[in-house]
Structure 1
Amino acid sequence: MDIFRTKSITIMEHEAKTHSLKKTMGALDIILIGIGVIIGTGIFVLTGVAAAKYAGPGIMLSFVISGITCAFVCLAYAELASMVPIAGSAYTYTYTSLGEGIAWLVGWNLVLEYSVGASAVAGGWSAYTVGLLKSGGIDIPLALTAVPADGGIVNLPAVLVTLFMTFLLVLGVKESVTVNRVLVAIKLGAIFIFLLMAGPKVDVANWTPFMPFGFAGVSAGAAVIFFAYLGVDSIATAAEETRSPKRDMPIGIIGSLVVCTILYIAVAAVMTGVVPYYQLNNAEPVAYVLRNLGYNFGSALVGTGAICGLSTVLLVMMYAQTRVFFTMSRDGLIPSVLGKIHEKYRTPHVITIIVGVGVALISGFTPIGIVAEMCSIGTLFAFVIATIGVVVLRKTKPDMERPFRCPAVNIVVTLAVLCCFYIMYNLAFATWIRFFIWSAIGLVIYGMYGYSHSNLHENNKPNQK
């Protein structure tokens, strides 16, 4: 049983041309997709929680640690994206370098990142929307805004926004990108309003003590807010729908990371400088800071920006999940009918609808707080495997064209792996247990279906005597 069989990049490119997705995006679109998915839950929700419970004002250092980790990963991803401009991200990169079995495991864990993560974001979107409507005098019954475990019947706003995003994704990437541009503009506007209004009110005395829980707290904070950087992986799933992926993908991946990290640190600095860190443990810390300063109108504007921000995160996470599944179906690891492309819209509509309905059901009926904690470990695992693949491909395919070459590749990859493991080490032990259980389930599915239905397995049958 050869679970380490690799797939030729040439074959992947041929299949991509045969079952092609529509190429509509440029470098700016990739940067905006990155900003769209990275800036959302991290700024609008997790920053306050991580500061209050773990890092204090040292949350700024937590973002630096996570940002540096992602910088190393991004340099490796940029080389991979320029070499292998195919949908699928870490799954695709692993298939070409480390083999099918490991690629399946990566793809299986990306489900945790995208589908479960999207469900969590949909729940957050619902909470902000319900809060904003309530402040405007519109009170929606609890039965329609909470899951059964929380005393409701269904989280209807979460279901509706998920189905709307599914509709956009079925229509096509161009339409989705246009919506993303508008929402990103509103979101960035809200962040700059916050910085302009709250920035002058910073009292540096609130930064003392800077690390009330010590460096261990800063490290734990980095593990918590790493959820904010999950979008780095999803950017690479857009490679096949980019007009010039070998140039645009490196620009988009690295550019979006730089912009987002700067904004994260700036917002964290202002928040903890205006309000004592221990007061930030709430679901809308940015809006809370402005209300605390008496800027109720500004708080409403930022709340609107938060809704837009979470909308873009939801859109891109669902987009990324559909592209990973699309690539896996093209490889035969899941039924190929799921990857059928719509004749008019040139989108994988079947898998998009399935993902949309699945995310809607999870967000509408399931309390996913515990499961959502697995998002970070699944993503970090994918990061580790994909970056190792860069070094492997340097050895196995040294002559292959690399429009972007990761500088000091051995050092960068080593640091990327060590940083990822350091953040994983700071995750809860229960999260590790769930991760191993989830991975074991994935391996069983691969053994029962994926291995025997793989295109590589089918192509090698005539030679097996």
Structure 2
Amino acid sequence: MKLHIFRKQKITTYLGEDINFSRTLTAFDLMAMGIGAVIGTGIFILPATVAATTAGPGVSLSFLVAAVICVLAGMCYAEFASSIPVAGSAYSYGNIIYGEFIGWLMGWALILEYMLAVATVAAGWSSYFTAFIKPFGIKLPKAVPGPFNPKQGVYFDLIAVVAIFLIALLLAQGMKSSIKINNTAVIIKITIILIFIFVGLNFIKPSNYHPFLPYKMAGVFKGATTVFFAFLGFDVVSSSAAEVKKPQKNMPLGIIGTLAVAVILYMGVSLVLTGMVNYTKLDIANPVAFALQYVHQDWLAELLSLGAIVGMASMMLTMIYSSSRLIYAMARDGLLPHVFSKIDAKHHTPQLALLVVTIVIALGAAFFSVDQLTNLVSFGTLFAFTLVSFGIIRLRSRTDIKNVGFKVPGYPYVPVVSGLCCIFMIFQLNTDVFIMAGIWLIIGIIIYFVYGYHHSQLESK
């Protein structure tokens, strides 16, 4: 029997099956979703962690390097989203451009990216929430607010789990109400970040910038692979294409606009944070709040903890949403059980896909630490970015796919440079990340050949 693992899906099939979604999202909604996803753990935790362990004050350059690569990949995503406005993001693009097996691998990598990203943020959210309620005399039992660590008497992160389920419950009510809450949360978050930057400028000590590159440029590039995770939100914007008004116009605006705002805020926070406190003291769970307490600005530390709580919640909302749409897309194609592709008639959401995503994410957040999860998320992101970047060349050669919207400038050089940069970033990751990611991909391949291939929608055609 000949295997047809590179059989390709038709864009018209996807457009027909995604018709049950309501197209209600605008360019502003997409930017709010993207910023909500990008400005989460990345801005409140990663600048400090990477500065302390990898890049020193040069962490701001790590964010710049990561941003340049993300802008290149972001333009490729924008062209795909404009050409193929369907649910499923890179998974669906891969199915149409590369064929089913490659599409499956891209989707499987995205599951790793999206779900672990939420688990990572939930762990950080728990730390900030615990710090926020402490001044009010509220003390939680030692056994629950943290990742599994029996030696320290901590068994699971109950706070993170509760937060995940509450956000999933909100999403289950439909995108119209969820997006209003998310937009408000994003405005609050950006306002508080700007307050931190302007107040923090008054407490910068130039001596804290020396040495600026204690780990040389090698540390900057290594740090870039970790902070790459911080820009993760722009690609989840593309997963909402089936629910966007005028996707050819609004999808590129949402993706590029998200990146523009994110890089300004990230570099601003990184420079101020490492100027306020010596980078060697920043390897802690709630570094920005610590920096403000360090310079006796406790009032702003409390406000910032609130901003972190709101900001991380908006990121979890976007990522849980994107995860559920990815599971929906895979089930729509038969590669996962078809029951997960059912759209609730009242709320126009894939409720069962949302439920399974929530349970898996909650388990990850309950038992794993931020450090264990972040690098794996970076692998999933970079893997998808690489194939999306090179995929533009295949997309342009397709005469059956029309695009009247955004196109990557500098074709074919920009997509090729984007793909090569992503490959370079992948090889900066630690060996243990390759081992864990390899195991994840092998599991995905087994599932595809045991279940997905035989139940594929294309198998019956």
What TM-score do you get using the length of structure 2 for normalisation? 0.96
| SS of aligned partner of 2:23 | coil
Q: Is 1:88 aligned with 2:83?
A: no
Partner of 1:376: 378
The superposition leaves residues 120-142 of structure 1 with CA deviations (integer Å, 9 ceiling, x where unpaired) of: 21111111111111122110111
The residue identity in structure 2 corresponding to 1:261 is V
What's the counterpart of residue 18 of structure 2? 16
Q: Does 1:291 align with 2:275?
A: no
**Counterparts of 2:50 and 2:367 in 1: how far apart (Å)?**
27
CA offset digits 1:282-310 (Å, max 9, x no partner):
11121111111110011110011011111
1:28 positional shift: 0.2
Does the CA contact (< 8 Å) of 1:452 and 1:458 recur in 2?
A: no
Whichever residue aligns with residue 405 of structure 1, its letter is K
Aligned length: 457
Find the residue that maps to 2:4 and give its secondary structure: coil
Which amino acid is 1:104 matched to?
Answer: W
Aligned residue number for residue 126 of structure 1: 126
What code does the residue aligned with 1:59 have? V
Q: Distance in 2 between matches of 1:424 and 1:201?
A: 37
> How far 1:439 moved relative to its partner?
0.6
Task: Look up the match of 2:387.
Answer: 385
**Deviations, residues 79-130 of structure 1 (Å, cap 9, x unaligned):** 1000111011110111111110000001111111111221121111111111
SS class of match (1:373): helix
The partner residue of 1:417 within 416, 419, 439 is 419
Matching of residues 155-166 of structure 1 within 5 Å: 155-166=157-168
Relative distance call for 1:33 and 1:384 in structure 2 (3 A) is same
| 5+ long unaligned stretches in structure 2 | none
Match of 1:40 in 2: 40
Structure 2 counterpart of 1:306: 308
For residues 396 and 47 of structure 2, the distance between their equivalents in structure 1, rounded to whole angstroms, comes to: 38
Q: Calculate the TM-score normalised by the size of structure 1.
A: 0.95
Contact 2:55 2:213 in 1 (8 A): yes
Find the partner of 1:213 among 215, 233, 251. 215
Contact kept, 8 Å, 1:48 with 1:281, in 2: the verdict is: yes
Shift of 1:193: 1.3
Partner of residue 169, structure 1: 171
Provide the aligned C-alpha RMSD in A.
1.4
Deviation at 1:433, TM superposition (A): 1.4
The Cα offsets for residues 116-174 of structure 1, whole Å up to 9 and x where unpaired, read as: 22112111111111111112211011123234434234322111111111101110111
Give yes or no for the alignment of 1:63 onto 2:63: yes
2:319 aligned partner, one-letter code: M
Alignment of 1:85-124 (within 5 A): 85-124=85-124
Q: How does 1:179-190 map onto structure 2 within 5 Å?
A: 179-190=181-192
Give the whole-Å Cα distance in 1 for the aligned partners of 2:364 and 2:284: 23
1:197 maps to what in 2? 199
- Name the SS for the 2:409 alignment partner: coil
1:325 and 1:305 map into 2 onto residues whose CA distance is 30
Paired residues of 2:226 and 2:374 also in contact (CA < 8 A): no
- Between the aligned partners of 1:278 and 1:399, the Cα distance in structure 2 is 52
* Alignment correspondent of 2:431: 429
- Report what 1:462 is aligned to: none
1:194 deviates by 0.4
Contact 1:342–1:349 (8 Å) recurs in 2? yes
What is the deviation of 1:398? 7.4
Change in CA separation of 1:368 and 1:95 when aligned onto 2, cut-off 3 Å: same
Q: Secondary structure at 1:69's aligned position in 2?
A: helix
Which one-letter code corresponds to 1:30 in the other structure?
Answer: L
Equivalent runs, 1:323-362 vs 2, <5 Å? 323-362=325-364
- The CA deviation at 1:217 is 0.5
- Structure-1 separation of matches of 2:385 and 2:363: 28
Deviation sequence 1:340-378 (CA, Å, 0-9, x none): 111111110111111112222332244574244211001
Q: Given residue 45 of structure 2, which amino acid in structure 1 is its aligned partner?
A: V
CA distance in 2, matches of 1:287, 1:277: 15
> Which of 446, 450, 455 is matched with 1:444 structurally?
446
Give the residue type in structure 2 aligned to 1:178: K
How far 1:220 moved relative to its partner? 0.9
Instruction: Name which of structure 1's ranges 57-66 and 387-396 shifts more when overlaid on structure 2.
Output: 387-396
Alpha-carbon offset, residue 311 of structure 1: 0.5
Q: What letter is aligned with 2:13?
A: I
Letter in 2 for 1:170: A
Q: Is the 8 A contact 1:45 1:283 kept in 2?
A: yes
SS at match of 2:87: coil
The residue matched to 2:143 in structure 1 has which SS?
Answer: helix
Give the match's secondary structure for 2:149.
helix
User: Which residue of 230, 235, 251 corresponds with 1:228?
Assistant: 230
Residue 144 of structure 1 is matched in structure 2 by: 144
What is the percentage of aligned positions where both structures have the same residue?
38
CA distance in 2, matches of 1:276, 1:145: 28
